[in-house]
Amino acid sequence: MAEIIIRKHEEELKRNRDRMKIVRDNDEYRANNKIYMKQYRVNKKAELKKAYEDVNKPTYINNTINVIKKDNEVKLISVKIDAKKEITPLWKRTGVKGTTVKTAKTYTIWFIKIHKEFKNDVLNDAIINRIFVGKYDENDEKYILKNTKYLYGDNLVKFIEYMKNKYTNISTLKTYISPFVSMCSYFEELEPSYQVLARLVLDLNDLYEAQRDNNEITIENSKKLFDFTPGAINTIIDKITNINDKLIYSLYTLIPPRRLEYASVLIVDNIDNTKDGNFLVIDNICKYNLKFIFNDFKTVKAFGSQIIENLPSKLVDIIYEYLVDNGKCVGNYLFSKKNNTSITNVCLGRRLSVVFSKIYNTEISLRFIRMSYSIYINSLGLTNNQLKNKADLMCHSVRVNSQYNKTKVIG
């Protein structure tokens, strides 16, 4: 069969060759074909010439199209790389399971509080704390897995909705979700839940930063901002008669306002053994050599230990008046309970709010004190290095400082 097909194909080729030979030997055909090929070459040459001209021809802008003017703000469209890959827990990256003792204590309180409100059930705080510090055993693991069924599967969706409805503030929601993220990261059974909660925290953080970058403040909150110019601050200080109130107000206005680490400041008269904790170092020779040393504060990993010296003489005078009036001595805490134990950050925050709210006749928290100061320094026309120095003294970044600089009041 194959041989037949090949033979027929060869015969067909031969017939075509014979037919074309007869045609080519025809004078009329040759004459017509010569005219055709001549015109064909002329047409092809013209076509090629036009093609080269089109390639090199400049494209002129048509300024008559779309004549409706648009005065909209210049817009940037960025295509974000998909970052929704699996998130690796911090302890797996560092090889160290568990938080600090301080963080574990805070996480334990929040975890138990939220669990009780959600499940109407009380957890064993000792077990929860052991898990957060990374020193738990198999029984502790069984206990937490048995009592937190709401962190599994579809139940997790209900828990997240509960948290979103209860904590409508983005920052607050992120804060109270964090202990559950940490808890889920430790157990293989809760790995899928960890991925969901960790992604939620990252998304909340992005949303929070985006909102802060708008530099907006509501009309109501704008009333909590106050004048941070030296003249205004000194006028108020001179009117405060209670030395305890005067010290708190001065610590947060005469120097850049830190967070609440003053709550744990211990009074010492030498710098030996001041590597751990926060200290007020007094100089028995010259009182104006007074300095603060901070080793324990929220952003210590970013800024390291800090020594605050060359304090304003007015602040030094107020500190000494406070120490004498309250019978403070070396070995005492700057702010303390009756048994000379340090007060908590929460306690100092409340005292701070009471003092400032009473002075300005509106509810003012530390957030608005730091915000007022940032607005003030951003109005001075400082260099980037000067702003960084001020931001460092507040223990936050230049970016956060710029976010505190509210420039737009919204309804």
Ordered by where they begin, the domains of the chain are 90-212 (no CATH), 221-410 (1.10.443)
pTM for this model (two decimals): 0.63
What per-residue confidence (pLDDT) applies to 131? Answer: 95
Give the Cα separation of 225 and 217 in Å (integer). Answer: 10
What per-residue confidence (pLDDT) applies to 72? Answer: 56
What per-residue confidence (pLDDT) applies to 264? Answer: 95
Average pLDDT, 10 consecutive residues per value, the chain (411 residues): 60 69 63 71 73 61 51 54 72 88 93 95 96 95 94 91 92 93 94 93 84 77 93 97 98 96 94 88 92 92 91 96 95 92 93 97 94 90 87 80 68 62
pLDDT tens, position by position, 340-353 = 899 999 999 999 99
What per-residue confidence (pLDDT) applies to 123? Answer: 96
What per-residue confidence (pLDDT) applies to 114? Answer: 96
Tell me the pairing of strands 408-410 and 216-218. Answer: parallel
Q: How many CA atoms lie within 13 A of 331 on its CB side?
A: 1
